[in-house]
Structure 1
């Protein structure tokens, strides 16, 4: 199975990680999927503001 995704290591404060884990539980997603969704939303919002 091939993927176009790349691995990234991120260090987060424990309170932010806990918040992300809570969102993951609520949305029934993995932590990785939650972070990906939130990053995509943030990038789209940023693009709209700039553009």
Structure 2
């Protein structure tokens, strides 16, 4: 399963200096960035079963 986060931190009132989140790093001074997350299952089968 792939999950794409396109506009993290885009909320009313947020700015580049004061975003509503700093996802995915959560580090001060690092802007929020779009990311792709891959969710895999350790054993064979469909994710969620």
Normalised-by-shorter TM-score class: under 0.3
TM-score (norm 2): 0.25
- Relative to its length, the structure with more helix (as a share) is 1
- Relative to its length, the structure with more strand (as a share) is 2
TM-score (norm 1): 0.24
Structure with more contact order per residue of length (Cα contacts < 8 Å, sep ≥ 6): 2
Quick check: which has more Rg, 1 or 2? Answer: 2
